Protein backbone atom coordinates (compact mmCIF):
# COMPACT_ATOMS: atom_id res chain seq x y z
CA UNK A 1 0.00 0.00 0.00
CA UNK A 2 1.42 3.37 -1.04
CA UNK A 3 2.12 5.84 1.74
CA UNK A 4 0.00 8.95 1.75
CA UNK A 5 1.79 12.17 0.85
CA UNK A 6 2.54 14.60 3.68
CA UNK A 7 0.60 17.76 2.88
CA UNK A 8 3.09 19.88 4.86
CA UNK A 9 5.74 18.85 2.30
CA UNK A 10 4.19 21.25 -0.21
CA UNK A 11 4.37 24.99 -0.68
CA UNK A 12 1.14 26.84 -1.31
CA UNK A 13 2.10 27.26 -4.96
CA UNK A 14 2.71 23.52 -5.37
CA UNK A 15 -0.64 22.62 -3.82
CA UNK A 16 -2.37 25.11 -6.11
CA UNK A 17 -1.26 22.97 -9.07
CA UNK A 18 -3.34 20.03 -7.78
CA UNK A 19 -6.11 21.68 -5.78
CA UNK A 20 -8.59 23.87 -7.63
CA UNK A 21 -9.78 26.56 -7.30
CA UNK A 22 -6.64 28.15 -5.85
CA UNK A 23 -8.46 29.98 -3.04
CA UNK A 24 -9.10 26.57 -1.46
CA UNK A 25 -5.36 26.21 -0.86
CA UNK A 26 -5.36 29.36 1.28
CA UNK A 27 -8.24 27.91 3.27
CA UNK A 28 -6.36 24.64 3.75
CA UNK A 29 -3.22 26.52 4.84
CA UNK A 30 -5.29 28.46 7.35
CA UNK A 31 -6.75 25.29 8.83
CA UNK A 32 -3.32 23.64 9.09
CA UNK A 33 -1.13 26.51 10.27
CA UNK A 34 -3.57 28.87 12.01
CA UNK A 35 -6.18 26.55 13.52
CA UNK A 36 -3.86 23.55 13.98
CA UNK A 37 -6.42 20.95 12.89
CA UNK A 38 -5.41 17.29 12.79
CA UNK A 39 -7.88 16.00 10.20
CA UNK A 40 -9.29 17.15 6.89
CA UNK A 41 -12.78 16.50 8.25
CA UNK A 42 -12.29 19.48 10.60
CA UNK A 43 -11.88 21.85 7.62
CA UNK A 44 -15.52 22.95 7.77
CA UNK A 45 -15.54 25.36 4.82
CA UNK A 46 -14.28 22.79 2.29
CA UNK A 47 -16.70 20.77 0.11
CA UNK A 48 -17.26 17.21 1.29
CA UNK A 49 -15.82 15.77 -1.92
CA UNK A 50 -12.61 17.79 -1.53
CA UNK A 51 -12.17 16.67 2.07
CA UNK A 52 -12.58 13.06 1.00
CA UNK A 53 -10.06 13.50 -1.81
CA UNK A 54 -7.54 15.10 0.57
CA UNK A 55 -8.07 12.30 3.08
CA UNK A 56 -7.36 9.68 0.41
CA UNK A 57 -4.18 11.34 -0.88
CA UNK A 58 -2.57 13.15 2.06
CA UNK A 59 -1.77 12.83 5.72
CA UNK A 60 -1.93 15.77 8.12
CA UNK A 61 -0.20 13.96 10.99
CA UNK A 62 3.26 12.73 9.94
CA UNK A 63 4.53 12.98 13.54
CA UNK A 64 3.30 11.52 16.81
CA UNK A 65 4.32 12.83 20.23
CA UNK A 66 6.01 10.06 22.19
CA UNK A 67 7.29 11.99 25.19
CA UNK A 68 7.48 15.51 26.59
CA UNK A 69 9.83 16.61 29.36
CA UNK A 70 9.21 19.87 31.20
CA UNK A 71 11.98 21.98 32.72
CA UNK A 72 11.57 24.29 35.68
CA UNK A 73 12.86 27.11 33.43
CA UNK A 74 9.90 26.71 31.04
CA UNK A 75 11.74 24.69 28.38
CA UNK A 76 9.95 21.66 26.94
CA UNK A 77 11.73 18.78 25.22
CA UNK A 78 9.74 16.73 22.68
CA UNK A 79 10.37 13.27 21.30
CA UNK A 80 8.43 12.73 18.08
CA UNK A 81 7.87 9.47 16.23
CA UNK A 82 7.83 9.42 12.43
CA UNK A 83 5.68 7.18 10.22
CA UNK A 84 8.53 4.62 9.96
CA UNK A 85 9.00 4.35 13.72
CA UNK A 86 12.17 6.44 13.93
CA UNK A 87 12.28 9.28 16.44
CA UNK A 88 13.52 12.86 16.45
CA UNK A 89 13.75 15.63 19.03
CA UNK A 90 12.72 19.27 19.21
CA UNK A 91 12.83 21.79 22.04
CA UNK A 92 10.65 24.75 22.96
CA UNK A 93 12.80 27.34 24.74
CA UNK A 94 11.15 30.05 26.79
CA UNK A 95 13.48 33.00 26.21
CA UNK A 96 11.37 35.63 27.98
CA UNK A 97 8.36 35.26 30.24
CA UNK A 98 5.14 37.21 29.91
CA UNK A 99 5.22 40.44 31.93
CA UNK A 100 2.55 42.88 33.08
CA UNK A 101 2.50 46.55 34.06
CA UNK A 102 1.59 47.52 37.62
CA UNK A 103 -1.98 48.22 36.51
CA UNK A 104 -2.30 44.64 35.28
CA UNK A 105 -2.11 45.42 31.58
CA UNK A 106 0.17 43.34 29.39
CA UNK A 107 3.70 44.70 29.07
CA UNK A 108 4.95 42.08 26.62
CA UNK A 109 4.22 38.51 25.54
CA UNK A 110 6.42 35.49 26.07
CA UNK A 111 9.26 35.07 23.62
CA UNK A 112 9.94 31.57 22.32
CA UNK A 113 12.65 29.86 20.30
CA UNK A 114 12.03 26.42 18.81
CA UNK A 115 15.01 24.18 18.15
CA UNK A 116 14.21 21.68 15.41
CA UNK A 117 15.80 18.62 13.82
CA UNK A 118 16.59 18.16 10.13
CA UNK A 119 17.68 14.51 10.10
CA UNK A 120 17.20 11.27 11.99
CA UNK A 121 20.67 10.92 13.48
CA UNK A 122 23.68 12.64 11.94
CA UNK A 123 26.63 11.84 9.67
CA UNK A 124 29.05 14.34 11.21
CA UNK A 125 30.05 12.29 14.24
CA UNK A 126 31.14 15.00 16.69
CA UNK A 127 32.90 13.50 19.72
CA UNK A 128 30.84 15.55 22.19
CA UNK A 129 27.41 14.95 20.64
CA UNK A 130 25.10 12.15 21.75
CA UNK A 131 23.18 12.24 18.45
CA UNK A 132 26.30 10.86 16.77
CA UNK A 133 26.11 7.69 18.88
CA UNK A 134 23.15 6.37 16.92
CA UNK A 135 24.67 7.19 13.53
CA UNK A 136 22.77 8.52 10.53
CA UNK A 137 19.40 7.02 9.56
CA UNK A 138 17.74 9.34 7.03
CA UNK A 139 16.88 12.89 6.06
CA UNK A 140 13.63 14.48 7.14
CA UNK A 141 11.20 15.74 4.53
CA UNK A 142 10.22 19.43 4.51
CA UNK A 143 6.88 18.51 6.07
CA UNK A 144 8.50 16.56 8.89
CA UNK A 145 10.62 19.61 9.68
CA UNK A 146 7.65 21.98 9.52
CA UNK A 147 5.38 19.73 11.57
CA UNK A 148 7.70 19.89 14.59
CA UNK A 149 6.90 23.58 14.99
CA UNK A 150 3.19 23.23 14.21
CA UNK A 151 2.78 20.53 16.86
CA UNK A 152 4.74 22.48 19.46
CA UNK A 153 2.75 25.65 18.83
CA UNK A 154 -0.50 23.71 19.11
CA UNK A 155 0.54 21.85 22.25
CA UNK A 156 1.53 25.08 23.99
CA UNK A 157 -1.46 27.07 22.70
CA UNK A 158 0.81 29.59 20.98
CA UNK A 159 -1.48 31.65 18.81
CA UNK A 160 -0.84 31.63 15.07
CA UNK A 161 -0.16 35.38 15.22
CA UNK A 162 2.56 34.92 17.84
CA UNK A 163 5.86 34.67 16.02
CA UNK A 164 8.59 32.35 17.26
CA UNK A 165 12.27 32.17 16.41
CA UNK A 166 13.52 28.97 14.77
CA UNK A 167 16.94 27.41 15.05
CA UNK A 168 17.92 24.39 12.95
CA UNK A 169 20.18 23.14 15.74
CA UNK A 170 18.51 19.87 16.70
CA UNK A 171 19.43 16.43 15.42
CA UNK A 172 21.29 16.35 12.13
CA UNK A 173 23.41 18.59 9.93
CA UNK A 174 20.96 20.94 8.12
CA UNK A 175 23.27 21.52 5.14
CA UNK A 176 23.45 17.75 4.55
CA UNK A 177 19.72 17.99 3.89
CA UNK A 178 19.79 21.37 2.19
CA UNK A 179 16.94 20.93 -0.38
CA UNK A 180 14.43 19.94 2.32
CA UNK A 181 15.67 22.57 4.78
CA UNK A 182 15.54 25.33 2.15
CA UNK A 183 11.98 24.33 1.25
CA UNK A 184 10.99 24.28 4.93
CA UNK A 185 12.36 27.83 5.29
CA UNK A 186 10.00 28.96 2.52
CA UNK A 187 6.99 27.08 3.92
CA UNK A 188 7.59 28.56 7.39
CA UNK A 189 7.84 32.04 5.85
CA UNK A 190 4.61 31.90 3.83
CA UNK A 191 2.38 34.78 5.03
CA UNK A 192 -0.69 32.55 4.76
CA UNK A 193 0.99 29.93 6.91
CA UNK A 194 3.13 30.43 10.02
CA UNK A 195 4.60 33.67 8.62
CA UNK A 196 7.96 33.08 10.31
CA UNK A 197 10.24 35.43 8.43
CA UNK A 198 13.61 34.05 7.27
CA UNK A 199 15.32 36.62 9.49
CA UNK A 200 13.80 34.75 12.44
CA UNK A 201 15.29 31.47 11.20
CA UNK A 202 18.86 30.39 11.89
CA UNK A 203 20.57 27.48 10.17
CA UNK A 204 23.40 26.02 12.21
CA UNK A 205 26.11 24.04 10.44
CA UNK A 206 29.19 22.14 11.50
CA UNK A 207 30.98 23.91 8.66
CA UNK A 208 30.30 22.28 5.30
CA UNK A 209 32.03 25.10 3.44
CA UNK A 210 30.95 24.11 -0.08
CA UNK A 211 27.32 23.93 1.06
CA UNK A 212 27.63 27.24 2.95
CA UNK A 213 28.49 28.73 -0.43
CA UNK A 214 25.50 26.98 -2.03
CA UNK A 215 23.20 28.21 0.74
CA UNK A 216 24.51 31.75 0.24
CA UNK A 217 23.68 31.63 -3.47
CA UNK A 218 20.09 30.65 -2.62
CA UNK A 219 19.78 34.03 -0.88
CA UNK A 220 17.04 32.82 1.46
CA UNK A 221 17.56 35.68 3.90
CA UNK A 222 18.21 33.34 6.82
CA UNK A 223 20.75 33.72 9.61
CA UNK A 224 23.85 31.55 9.66
CA UNK A 225 25.47 29.92 12.69
CA UNK A 226 28.76 28.06 12.53
CA UNK A 227 29.53 25.33 15.06
CA UNK A 228 33.23 26.06 15.41
CA UNK A 229 34.16 24.73 18.88
CA UNK A 230 37.93 24.86 18.30
CA UNK A 231 40.46 27.37 17.01
CA UNK A 232 42.97 25.05 15.34
CA UNK A 233 42.57 22.09 13.00
CA UNK A 234 44.26 19.59 15.30
CA UNK A 235 41.76 19.99 18.14
CA UNK A 236 38.81 20.54 15.83
CA UNK A 237 39.57 17.31 14.00
CA UNK A 238 39.57 15.46 17.32
CA UNK A 239 36.22 16.97 18.28
CA UNK A 240 34.69 17.08 14.81
CA UNK A 241 36.01 14.52 12.29
CA UNK A 242 34.33 16.47 9.49
CA UNK A 243 37.19 18.95 9.82
CA UNK A 244 39.24 16.57 7.64
CA UNK A 245 37.03 17.51 4.70
CA UNK A 246 36.19 21.08 5.74
CA UNK A 247 39.03 22.69 7.66
CA UNK A 248 38.79 25.97 9.52
CA UNK A 249 40.27 28.06 6.69
CA UNK A 250 37.71 26.77 4.18
CA UNK A 251 34.90 27.62 6.62
CA UNK A 252 36.18 31.14 7.29
CA UNK A 253 36.58 31.76 3.53
CA UNK A 254 32.99 30.56 2.88
CA UNK A 255 31.62 32.76 5.67
CA UNK A 256 33.38 35.84 4.31
CA UNK A 257 31.42 35.39 1.06
CA UNK A 258 28.08 34.66 2.72
CA UNK A 259 25.40 37.36 2.24
CA UNK A 260 24.60 38.86 5.64
CA UNK A 261 21.73 41.25 6.35
CA UNK A 262 23.12 44.69 7.24
CA UNK A 263 21.60 44.42 10.72
CA UNK A 264 22.74 40.83 11.32
CA UNK A 265 25.95 39.00 12.16
CA UNK A 266 27.21 35.49 11.48
CA UNK A 267 26.97 33.52 14.71
CA UNK A 268 29.92 31.38 15.75
CA UNK A 269 28.88 28.74 18.25
CA UNK A 270 31.70 27.76 20.59
CA UNK A 271 30.97 24.82 22.88
CA UNK A 272 33.21 25.30 25.90
CA UNK A 273 34.61 22.10 27.40
CA UNK A 274 36.58 22.11 30.64
CA UNK A 275 40.35 21.87 30.12
CA UNK A 276 39.87 21.34 26.37
CA UNK A 277 39.14 24.72 24.78
CA UNK A 278 38.40 27.07 27.68
CA UNK A 279 41.79 28.80 28.01
CA UNK A 280 42.71 32.38 27.17
CA UNK A 281 45.13 31.22 24.48
CA UNK A 282 42.14 29.77 22.62
CA UNK A 283 40.33 33.10 23.03
CA UNK A 284 43.30 34.89 21.45
CA UNK A 285 43.31 32.53 18.47
CA UNK A 286 39.53 32.89 18.06
CA UNK A 287 39.86 36.67 17.96
CA UNK A 288 42.48 36.38 15.23
CA UNK A 289 40.42 33.89 13.22
CA UNK A 290 37.35 36.12 13.09
CA UNK A 291 39.16 39.30 12.14
CA UNK A 292 37.35 41.01 9.27
CA UNK A 293 34.08 39.10 9.79
CA UNK A 294 30.90 40.69 11.09
CA UNK A 295 30.63 38.07 13.78
CA UNK A 296 29.04 37.27 17.09
CA UNK A 297 30.43 34.53 19.31
CA UNK A 298 28.05 32.49 21.41
CA UNK A 299 29.80 30.62 24.21
CA UNK A 300 27.92 27.48 25.23
CA UNK A 301 28.41 25.46 28.37
CA UNK A 302 28.98 21.80 27.55
CA UNK A 303 25.91 19.95 28.88
CA UNK A 304 27.20 16.60 30.28
CA UNK A 305 25.42 13.31 29.67
CA UNK A 306 26.01 9.78 30.90
CA UNK A 307 29.15 8.13 29.55
CA UNK A 308 30.88 11.25 28.22
CA UNK A 309 34.49 12.03 29.13
CA UNK A 310 33.92 15.78 28.73
CA UNK A 311 33.08 18.12 31.60
CA UNK A 312 31.17 21.35 32.04
CA UNK A 313 33.55 24.37 32.27
CA UNK A 314 33.86 26.53 35.36
CA UNK A 315 31.86 29.75 35.32
CA UNK A 316 34.98 31.85 36.03
CA UNK A 317 36.70 30.47 32.92
CA UNK A 318 33.63 31.19 30.77
CA UNK A 319 33.51 34.76 32.01
CA UNK A 320 37.26 35.26 31.52
CA UNK A 321 36.98 33.93 27.94
CA UNK A 322 34.06 36.25 27.20
CA UNK A 323 35.68 39.30 28.75
CA UNK A 324 38.87 38.81 26.74
CA UNK A 325 36.89 38.93 23.48
CA UNK A 326 34.53 41.73 24.45
CA UNK A 327 37.34 44.02 25.63
CA UNK A 328 38.89 43.65 22.18
CA UNK A 329 35.74 44.57 20.31
CA UNK A 330 34.25 41.18 19.45
CA UNK A 331 30.58 40.76 20.35
CA UNK A 332 30.38 37.73 22.60
CA UNK A 333 27.63 36.29 24.79
CA UNK A 334 27.34 33.32 27.10
CA UNK A 335 24.29 31.28 26.25
CA UNK A 336 22.13 30.71 29.28
CA UNK A 337 21.85 26.97 29.79
CA UNK A 338 18.29 25.74 29.37
CA UNK A 339 16.74 22.49 30.45
CA UNK A 340 19.56 21.26 32.66
CA UNK A 341 17.02 19.35 34.75
CA UNK A 342 15.71 17.47 31.70
CA UNK A 343 17.35 15.68 28.77
CA UNK A 344 17.97 18.92 26.93
CA UNK A 345 21.28 18.04 25.28
CA UNK A 346 20.62 17.01 21.69
CA UNK A 347 20.08 13.27 21.33
CA UNK A 348 19.56 12.42 25.00
CA UNK A 349 15.83 11.77 24.87
CA UNK A 350 16.07 9.70 21.68
CA UNK A 351 18.95 7.65 23.09
CA UNK A 352 16.97 6.92 26.26
CA UNK A 353 14.01 5.77 24.19
CA UNK A 354 16.20 3.50 22.03
CA UNK A 355 17.75 1.94 25.13
CA UNK A 356 14.30 1.30 26.59
CA UNK A 357 13.30 -0.59 23.44
CA UNK A 358 16.30 -2.93 23.64
129 is in an annotated binding site: yes
339 is in an annotated binding site: no
Q: What is the DSSP letter of 129?
A: -
290 is in an annotated binding site: no
Q: Residue 187 belongs to what H/E stretch?
A: helix 178-189
Query: By the 8 A CB rule, do 139 and 104 touch?
Result: no
204 is in an annotated binding site: yes
CA distance 236 to 230: 5
End-to-end CA gap in the chain: 29
CA distance 175 to 220: 13
Catalytic residues: 89, 346
115 is in an annotated binding site: no
The separation between CA 250 and the C-alpha centre of its own chain, rounded to angstroms, equals: 24
173 is in an annotated binding site: yes
126 is in an annotated binding site: yes
30 is in an annotated binding site: no
Query: By the 8 A CB rule, do 89 and 347 touch?
Result: yes
Phi then psi for residue 317, to 5 deg, are: -70, -35
Query: By the 8 A CB rule, do 51 and 322 touch?
Result: no
Annotation: binding site for S-adenosyl-L-methionine: 172-173, 204, 227-229, 303
Annotation: binding site: 122, 126, 129, 172-173, 204, 227-229, 303
Annotation: binding site for [4Fe-4S] cluster: 122, 126, 129
Amino acid sequence: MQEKKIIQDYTKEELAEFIKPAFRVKQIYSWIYHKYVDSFEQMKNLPKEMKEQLENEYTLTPLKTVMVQNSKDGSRKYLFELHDGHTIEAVLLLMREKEYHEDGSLKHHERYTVCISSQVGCKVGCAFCLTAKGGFVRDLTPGEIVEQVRMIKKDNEIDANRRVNLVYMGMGEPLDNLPAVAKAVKIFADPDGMAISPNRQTISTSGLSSKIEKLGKMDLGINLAISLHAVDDVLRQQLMPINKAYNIKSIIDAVKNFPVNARKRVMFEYLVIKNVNDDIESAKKLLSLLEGIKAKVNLIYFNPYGGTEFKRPDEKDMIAFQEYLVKRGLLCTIRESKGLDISAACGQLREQELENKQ
